[in-house]
Structure 1
Amino acid sequence: MPNPNPAVDKAAIRAAARNVGDGSVTEGYQADREAVIALLNDALATELVCVLRYKRHHYTVTGLQNGPIKAEFLAHAREEQAHADLLAERIVQLNGLPDFNPANLVARSHAEYDEAITVQAMIMANLIAERIAIEAYRQMIQFIGDTDPTTRHMLVGIMAMEEEHADEMRDLLA
């Protein structure tokens, strides 16, 4: 019986799927896997540095009037941690190893760690870091193109959250 869907070669797909050692990475994966893993590890470092920066700002911001800003910093720290978790999971799905080595985080991070002491300086540092993350994700998305739709989709979602964070930091500066 002929295949009713000639665009999909079921026999070839089934045969290739039996190579289970590569997990979710199939023969059809078109991206440079090692390059994607390296990009994702740099993004992971960025997100972890952002978690630390937001946490520091959350714990060190003072003043009764700054309660909402303190809460915003904590919310962003949690969202950045969720981004880090997504990145680490994707690295593993691509048969890579997420690099959580603290000694390497700042050097690999796109954004910088910040020790600002005034509220305005904290907000400005976070806004700059968010803008750096947005541009870094945009470049990663462009590099990946259509070669890895799963990673691309994940990065687009993270970038959208970073854009929200940047808007929120800009609003706090007003």
Structure 2
Amino acid sequence: MNSSIKPLDINLLRKSARQHMEEGAVTAGYSADRTEVIAMLNSALATELVCVLRYRRHHFMASGIHSHATAAEFLVHSNEEQGHADQLAERIVQLGGEPDFSPDSLTRRSHAEYVEGVTLGDMIRENLVAERIAIDSYRHAIESLGSDDPTTCRLLESILAVEEEHADELADLLTQVPVKSS
């Protein structure tokens, strides 16, 4: 056995697991500030929900020669953003919080804006801007959490990877679709 590995006290581990069982997955070893993590996750949830709504609108409003394929891509992104929202809400509950789905404050809590866009090019650009905001927001959250909450970090890293894919796909669309500004 490696001498740098601290032995695990099984009896203490068992005793600790029986304490505060109502806290579910949050054990004494959780070192992050749950209130701050839940607030950060609720901001991320609001951002994802705003993105779901914007992508849905763009899916239905896309028009023009290249609109069919682009609208389909918007729908795929919307569905993936909804999946992210669900994952974030689930993690909030695991941490003993309540996911905030209130439509009254959604855009205020979101890092990304809800910009409708007029032309197909506008829609692509607004979605790309939102993805870039999400990317930097997730990177900041992951960095802020450090090793205090590895489960949330892994969740955010998996979401970040998809947001980066979305940004790449949208950047590619900008080069393929005539993007005349309104």
Which category describes the TM-score, using the shorter chain as reference length? over 0.9
For each residue in 1:134-164, what CA deviation from the matched residue of structure 2 results, as whole angstroms up to 9, or x when unmatched?
Answer: 0000000010000000000000010010000
Does 1:34 pair with 2:35? yes
1:61 alignment counterpart: 62
Assess if the C-alpha contact under 8 Å between 2:107 and 2:114 holds in 1: yes
Normalising to structure 2: TM-score of the pair? Answer: 0.91
- Tell me how far 1:83 sits from its aligned partner: 0.3
Count matched residues: 170
The verdict on how the C-alpha distance between 1:6 and 1:126 changes in structure 2, with shifts beyond 3 A counting, is: closer
Counterpart of 1:143 in 2: which secondary structure?
helix
| C-alpha distance in structure 1 between counterparts of 2:65 and 2:128, whole Å | 22
- Tell me how far 1:171 sits from its aligned partner: 0.2
2:178 alignment counterpart: none
2:105 alignment counterpart: 104
After TM superposition, list the pairs within 5 Å mapping 1:132-151 onto structure 2.
Answer: 132-151=133-152
Counterpart of 2:137 in 1: which secondary structure?
helix
For each residue in 1:113-139, what CA deviation from the matched residue of structure 2 results, as whole angstroms up to 9, or x when unmatched?
Answer: 011110000000000000000000000
Matched letter for residue 76 of structure 1: H
Normalising to structure 1: TM-score of the pair? Answer: 0.95
| C-alpha distance in structure 1 between counterparts of 2:91 and 2:31, whole Å | 16
2:22 alignment counterpart: 21
- Tell me how far 1:65 sits from its aligned partner: 3.0
Question: CA RMSD of the aligned region, Å?
Answer: 1.0
Assess if the C-alpha contact under 8 Å between 2:42 and 2:100 holds in 1: yes
Assess if the C-alpha contact under 8 Å between 2:54 and 2:114 holds in 1: yes
Counterpart of 2:66 in 1: which secondary structure?
helix
Q: Which moved more, 1:125-134 or 1:60-69?
A: 60-69
2:174 alignment counterpart: 173
Matched letter for residue 7 of structure 1: P
Which has a greater percent of helix? 1
Q: Percent sequence identity over matched residues?
A: 57
For each residue in 1:34-83, what CA deviation from the matched residue of structure 2 results, as whole angstroms up to 9, or x when unmatched?
Answer: 10000000000000000000000001011353111000000000000000
| C-alpha distance in structure 2 between counterparts of 1:47 and 1:57, whole Å | 15
| C-alpha distance in structure 1 between counterparts of 2:7 and 2:132, whole Å | 42
